Amino acid sequence: MLDHEQVVVRTGRRSRLPVIVAVHSTALGPAAGGLRLWHYPDWRDGLTDALRLSAAMTAKFAVAGLPSGGGKAVVALPEGAVLEPERRGAVLEDVADTIESLGGTYTTGPDVGTGPDDMAVIGRTTPHVFCRPARLGGSGDSSPHTARGTLAALRAVGRRLYGTGRLDGRRLAVAGLGRVGAGLARLLAAEGAALTVTDVDPAKRRIGDELGADWAAPDEIHAADVDIVVPAALGSFLTRNGVAELRCRAVVGPANNQLATPDVADLLHRRGIVWVPDYVASAGGVIHAVSVEVHRLAAEEARARVDAIEDTVSELLHTAESRGRTPAQAADELARRRLDAASDPAGPSAA
Ligand code: PHE
């Protein structure tokens, strides 16, 4: 069964590349979610990614308590393809046309492979775009806010496990040094955490050196001897076999779709490892963008909402423990309740 409201797949008129927009749910409000410009062995893998990522966005907004729905856009690039600037522009215009044709049902933002400058290009065709550079009236790069929100989630977990939200002296392994991962690693280093880092791009080693971090191989970092592992790259970081090799007490990070399969959450729980659902820990970016651009909140208020991820995670961990659930189940149930209440004819007050 398709549990998405709408999925558009088109060959871009200019780029001839597959443009995919998945609108999972608008039960809470118009859908939002980033544009992923990434390589896939087959465009169908991009479609699968868009379906999963958009569903996660629905849960992300529901748990964050924001009146937005879940969507995602993916442009599936062939393996090894490099987009020179002109072709990139063509891709972005193709995406913009598709978004505009949805008439506001879906608003895009940055994601893996895109940033504020790309949003500026999309914004020339459609108003349904978040995170354009500030000079163009947007809220700018979302990645510092995603990093800040993840730090809030880490504090909640630290408090739970060690009785303090301070992370100085804790050992953390950050897997992925893209915009969010590198920003988060910097925040953690500034606080005095001992870091192990990695990235599939060996050039990122420079960032690790700058932060005094140890470097691990990308396919080994999950097994690092640390307190908390922080997935900050592409999805499916946690596999059934990988969980058996973990030595940490918690896994908390900003990467979307961290679990290779849903049952991995139960395996983690059985091993006594705290896993904060990715869609809870990674919500800072969208919380900031929507708060500033839709709800017109001032910067400090938007930041306060991002920091409130700490309370959300603390409550989830508490609820999970008191009801004998995994944090993943507790978060799913919370999202489900909020979505059901919104589609209930008796109205949201029935929540
Ligand atoms: N990449 C962001 C996420 O996964 C998507 C996003 C950011 C969408 C900011 C809108 C605004 O949450």
- CATH number for the domain that contains residue 103: 3.40.50.10860
Same domain assignment for residues 104 and 157: no
Pairing of strands 18-25, 69-78: antiparallel
What DSSP designation does 349 have?
A: G
Residue 289 covered by a domain? no
pLDDT at residue number 350: 44
In this prediction the pTM is 0.94
Distance CA 200, CA 257 (A): 18
Q: Which amino acid is at 325?
A: R
CB 109 less than 6 A from any atom of ligand 1: yes
The pLDDT value recorded for residue 234 is: 79
State the closest ligand 1 atom to the C-alpha of 107, by its place in the atom list counted from 1.
Answer: 10
Residues 150 and 239 in one domain: yes
Decide: 285 in ligand 1 pocket, CB within 6 A: yes
Residue 349 CB-density burial (10 A; 0-12 exposed, 13-18 middle, 19+ buried)? exposed
Residue 160 lies in a domain: yes
d(CA 184, CA 182): 5
Q: How far apart are CA 146 and CA 154, in angstroms?
A: 12
Residue with tokens 């913009």: 96
Nearest to 204 by CA among 79, 195, 38, 83: 195
**Same domain (yes/no): 177, 324:** yes
Sheet holding 18-25, edge to edge: 6-11, 18-25, 69-78, 31-40, 106-110
Q: Which of 136, 170, 189 is the last residue of a domain?
A: 136
**Residues recognised as catalytic:** 72
Is residue 127 domain-shared with residue 151, that is, in the same domain? no
CA 131 to ligand 1 center in whole angstroms? 9
Count each helix (H run) and each strand (E run) in the chain, helices first: 13, 11
- Torsion 259-264-269-271 (CA) sign: negative
CA distance 323 to 329: 10
Residues 240 and 106 placed together within one structural domain of the fold? no
- Count of structural domains within the chain: 2
248, 227 Cβ separation under 8 angstroms:
yes
**CA distances from residue 219 to 45, 71, 172, 180, 237 in whole angstroms, order as listed:** 22, 30, 16, 20, 9
pLDDT (0 to 100) of residue 235: 75
User: Do 150 and 258 share a structural domain?
Assistant: yes
Whether residue 164 is found in the same domain as residue 127 = no
Can you give the pLDDT at residue 143?
96
How far, in Å, CA of 165 to CA of 193, rounded? Answer: 12
**Closest CA to ligand 1's atom 12:** 286
158 and 91 in a common domain: no
Taking a C-beta distance cutoff of 8 angstroms, is the pair 157, 277 a contact?
no
Find the 146 Cα to ligand 1 centroid distance in Å.
9
Residues 6+ positions from 10 with CB-CB distance below 8 Å: 18, 19, 94, 98
Contact 131, 179 (CB under 8 A): no
Hunting for tokens 């590198």 — which residue is that?
182
Q: What is residue 351's predicted lDDT score, i.e. its pLDDT?
A: 45
Q: Is 286 in the pocket of ligand 1 (CB under 6 A)?
A: yes
CB of 69 shorter than 6 A to ligand 1: no
- The finding on whether 30 has its CB within 6 A of some atom of ligand 1 is no
User: What is the domain range of residue 84?
Assistant: 6-57+68-136
d(CA 272, CA 258): 18
Q: How far is the CA of 245 from the centre of ligand 1 (A)?
A: 31
Q: In angstroms, rounded to a whole number, what is the distance separating the alpha carbons of residues 24 and 31? A: 8
Compute the distance from residue 142 Cα to the ligand 1 centre, in Å: 7
Give a yes or no: residue 294 inside a domain. Answer: no
Helix (H) or strand (E) holding 313: helix 309-323
Say which DSSP state 13 is in: T
pLDDT in tens, the chain (351 residues): 889 999 999 999 999 999 999 999 999 999 999 999 999 999 999 999 999 999 999 999 999 999 999 999 999 999 988 899 999 999 999 999 999 999 999 999 999 999 999 999 999 999 999 999 999 999 999 999 999 999 999 999 999 999 999 999 999 999 999 999 999 999 999 999 999 999 999 999 999 999 999 999 999 999 999 999 999 997 778 999 999 999 999 999 999 889 999 999 999 999 999 999 999 999 999 999 999 999 999 999 999 999 999 999 999 999 999 999 999 999 999 999 999 999 876 655 544
Q: Say if residue 125 is in the same domain as residue 157.
A: no
Q: Please tell me the residue having the least CA distance from ligand 1 atom 9.
A: 286
- Domain presence at residue 344: no
Element (H, E) at 61: helix 43-64
Give me ligand 1 centre to Cα 323, in Å: 31
Same domain, 107 and 235: no
With a 6 A CB cut-off, is 111 part of the ligand 1 pocket? yes
Which atom of ligand 1 is the closest one to the Cα of 256?
4
Which phi and psi angles does 10 have, rounded to 5°? Answer: -140, 150
Q: How many CB atoms lie within 10 A of CB 162?
A: 14
pLDDT at 237 (0 to 100): 87
